[in-house]
């Protein structure tokens, strides 16, 4: 195992962003920046031994800060918080107090607001042991940052193992009752970006989705069997486009009331042979097939665009703050928020 640390660039205020490259004995290489805990690269081989980056990301900080990227901001590879996904109308009530959050996605609050955890500089410390290497990122979100109550101390621990597994563990504590829903927004493209993701095949361990209107849950859970949302067996992502013209942006419910580390799903691509298996303690996984990813010109070359990546965002349900029957996203003083997701990379030979 090895860890390499290098400068990734500087923020407008002069603070230095570092890039951490974690490499295991099989030459699986994962790069993570201290800005937004962005996973910028996951390099793995295909069935012929050719290594390629299988996630959407950039080679330098400047592209993450560029106006073109932020104008159609797809949240490549970053941590989402304080609250991943949507809160209806940005309206939040906690213990009788009302907090109006920024509305940054139509009429709703999305992914923590205008400057969420995805656009913060995180502290980091690293360690390397036999069989794994690890970066512990930490951030103190002050009381009323983006108008969320409470000083929230957050850790995001990223571990790469010799078993070709990336483990992401989230920990948080607060001094006032608040809400929290943390996730990672990596987009996978197992072709190494040579083709879009519509021929990727997906299997999910979900029998229900949250019924939604304009991406806000109604409170009802509906079965997926026999519908375009059924992924009990491997199915191409393109299969649903006749009924879903902009693809999937759907919260799939995992049967995980005790918060154990359970199987959530598998993504594979047959030409490359690459496969990603997801386990999580979280109660749901949001499937987003990236219809609104913008096409960008990077160093004179056009890249990305619709369906250039697929996000598998393990998290709590969207808008849980308005649905008492959903798994709670409240965090109180003295409690610890703790969730874990693992991604295992292998070849389907």
Q: Which residues are catalytic?
A: 185, 313
How far apart, in Å, do the first and last CA atoms of the chain sit? 25
The percent of the chain in helix, strand and coil, each rounded to the nearest 5, is: 5, 50, 45
Question: Whole-angstrom Cα distance, residue 4 to residue 140?
Answer: 25
Strand partners, 330: 179
Place of tokens 């059924």: 230
Nearest to 286 by CA among 319, 245, 241: 319
Q: Is 259 left (phi over 0), alpha (psi -120 to 50) or beta?
A: left
- d(Cα 282, Cα 256) in Å, to the nearest integer? 7
Task: Count the alpha carbons within 13 Å of 42 in the hemisphere toward its beta carbon.
Answer: 26
> Is the preceding peptide bond at 82 cis, omega within 30 degrees of 0?
yes
Q: Which value, to the nearest 10 degrees, does the dihedral of the CA atoms of residues 305, 307, 308, 313 take?
A: 120
CA nearest 248: which of 200, 287, 199, 305?
A: 287
Q: Pick from 120, 131, 117, 133: which is nearest to 20 by CA?
A: 133
């Amino acid at each position: 195992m090895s860890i390499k640390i290098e400068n990734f660039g500087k923020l407008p205020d002069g603070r230095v962003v570092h890039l951490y490259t974690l490499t295991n004995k099989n030459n699986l290489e994962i790069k993570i920046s201290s800005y937004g805990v962005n996973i910028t690269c996951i390099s793995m081989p295909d069935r012929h031994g050719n290594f390629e980056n299988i996630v959407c990301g950039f080679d330098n900080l400047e592209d993450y800060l560029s106006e073109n990227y932020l104008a159609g901001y797809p949240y490549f590879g970053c941590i989402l918080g304080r609250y991943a996904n949507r809160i209806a109308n940005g309206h939040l009530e906690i213990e009788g107090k009302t907090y109006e959050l920024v509305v940054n996605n139509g009429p709703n609050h999305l992914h923590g607001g205008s400057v969420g955890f995805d656009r913060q500089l995180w502290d980091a410390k690293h360690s390397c042991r036999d069989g794994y290497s690890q970066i512990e990122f930490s951030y103190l979100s002050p009381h009323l940052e983006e108008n969320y109550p409470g000083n929230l101390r957050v850790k995001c621990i990223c571990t790469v193992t010799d078993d070709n597994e990336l483990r992401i563990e989230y920990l948080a504590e607060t001094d006032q009752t608040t809400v929290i829903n943390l996730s990672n927004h990596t987009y996978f493209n197992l072709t190494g970006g040579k083709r879009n993701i519509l021929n990727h095949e997906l299997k999910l361990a979900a029998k229900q989705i949250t019924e939604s209107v304009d991406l806000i849950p109604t409170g009802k859970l509906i079965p997926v069997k026999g519908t375009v949302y059924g992924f009990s067996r491997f199915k191409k992502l393109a299969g649903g486009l006749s009924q879903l013209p902009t693809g999937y942006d759907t919260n799939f419910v995992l049967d995980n009331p005790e918060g154990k580390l359970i199987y959530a799903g598998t993504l594979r691509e047959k030409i490359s042979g690459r496969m990603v298996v997801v386990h999580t303690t979280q109660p749901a996984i949001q499937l987003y097939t990236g219809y609104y990813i913008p096409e960008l010109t990077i160093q004179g070359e056009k890249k990305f665009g619709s369906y250039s990546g697929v996000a598998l965002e393990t998290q709590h349900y969207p808008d849980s703050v308005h649905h008492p029957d959903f798994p709670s996203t409240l965090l109180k003083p003295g409690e610890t928020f703790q969730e874990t997701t693992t991604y295992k990379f292998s070849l389907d030979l």
